[in-house]
């Protein structure tokens, strides 16, 4: 099973952050050749047929890494996930749901862009069920159902077009949106030099240099977006901020954005 160097490095970074069920989940998904092929084909359709940016193995791993970082910052600050608050599962169970959703959220792009989140759910369920059956016994049916439901909610809500209610799904949404650095738009830019309607998205994405996620001063999570040109504000204000705005994680986020070496603008 071929994997790019970038994908392998991302997987290594992800695995170093995990333990217990979450680690086993990521290891199983990373080792699954059928899933790898599915993610690669989703990227082919996204870039070559539809003209969008990266929606393949690298993107799904970046989204996962971002979500894990934010999960850890919330956990370290004593913020309980919904499974814990509802006394159904542990933090590790919540993180397992976040990883499942993040690594499977764009499978539907192998078919089409429109309503791909709904298609992704159908395609993801066999992987989700297999993993949960490996991790749990028949006596843990409520916990399995809860993790499965959260994973599906995370996929369902990642486009910010459907209302979501759990912190777990909110992390998936923002983790996905945080993958907007210039490298994600590089391939479609190389393949097509002709301008077309909607190119502001590509141009603005190319201006984003770095998205940093770290501990905030006033809130658990600080997300700072650095860009090399002001056109990058379009990406922040029209694409990224609406995702944060609808996410249940919003109250725990500080959001800054600005051109490198200039004063950062605070949104949250």
pLDDT tens digit sequence for 46-84: 888 987 777 889 999 999 999 999 999 999 999 999 999
Please state the pTM of the whole predicted model: 0.92
Tell me the β-bridge partners of 35.
Answer: none
Alpha-carbon gap, residue 181 to 106, rounded angstroms: 18
Q: Tell me: the pLDDT tens digits for 170-193? A: 999 999 999 988 755 444 444 444
Phi-psi region of 263 (alpha: psi -120 to 50; beta: other; left: phi over 0): beta
Location of structure tokens 């993790």: 147
Q: Structural domain tally of the chain?
A: 1
DSSP state of 48: I
Residues spanned by the domain of 189 = 5-266
Alpha-carbon gap, residue 241 to 237, rounded angstroms: 5
- The arrangement of strands across the sheet holding 253-259 comes to 208-215, 221-227, 253-259, 265-266
Tell me the β-bridge partners of 212.
Answer: 224
What's the token pair of residue 247? 């996410």
What's the token pair of residue 9? 């490095």
pLDDT at 204 over 60: yes
Question: What is the mean pLDDT of the segment spanning 191-212?
Answer: 70
What pLDDT is attached to residue 201?
67
Q: Pick the residue with more confidence: 91 or 55?
A: 91
Question: What is the mean pLDDT of the segment spanning 142-167?
Answer: 97
């Amino acid at each position: 099973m071929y994997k790019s160097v970038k994908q392998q490095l991302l997987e290594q970074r992800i695995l170093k952050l995990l333990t217990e069920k979450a680690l086993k989940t990521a290891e199983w998904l990373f080792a699954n050749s059928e899933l790898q092929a599915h993610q690669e084909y989703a990227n082919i359709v996204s870039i070559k047929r539809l003209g969008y940016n990266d929606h393949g193995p690298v993107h799904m791993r970046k989204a996962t890494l971002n979500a894990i970082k934010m999960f850890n910052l919330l956990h370290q600050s004593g913020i309980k996930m919904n499974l814990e608050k509802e006394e159904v599962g542990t933090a590790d169970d919540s993180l397992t749901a976040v990883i499942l959703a993040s690594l499977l959220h764009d499978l539907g792009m192998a078919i089409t862009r429109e309503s791909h989140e709904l298609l992704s759910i159908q395609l993801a369920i066999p992987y989700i069920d297999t993993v949960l059956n490996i991790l749990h016994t028949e006596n843990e049916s409520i916990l399995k159902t809860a993790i499965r439901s959260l994973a599906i909610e995370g996929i369902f809500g990642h486009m910010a077009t459907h209302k979501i209610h759990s912190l777990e799904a909110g992390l998936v949404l923002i983790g996905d949106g945080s993958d907007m650095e210039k490298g994600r738009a590089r391939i479609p830019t190389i393949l097509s030099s002709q301008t077309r309607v909607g190119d502001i998205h590509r141009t603005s994405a190319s201006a984003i240099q770095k998205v940093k996620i770290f501990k905030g001063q006033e809130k658990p999570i600080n997300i700072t977006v650095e860009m090399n040109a002001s056109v990058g504000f379009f990406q922040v204000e029209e694409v990224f901020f609406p995702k944060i705005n609808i996410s249940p994680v919003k109250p725990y986020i500080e959001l800054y954005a600005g051109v490198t070496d200039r004063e950062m603008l605070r949104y949250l």
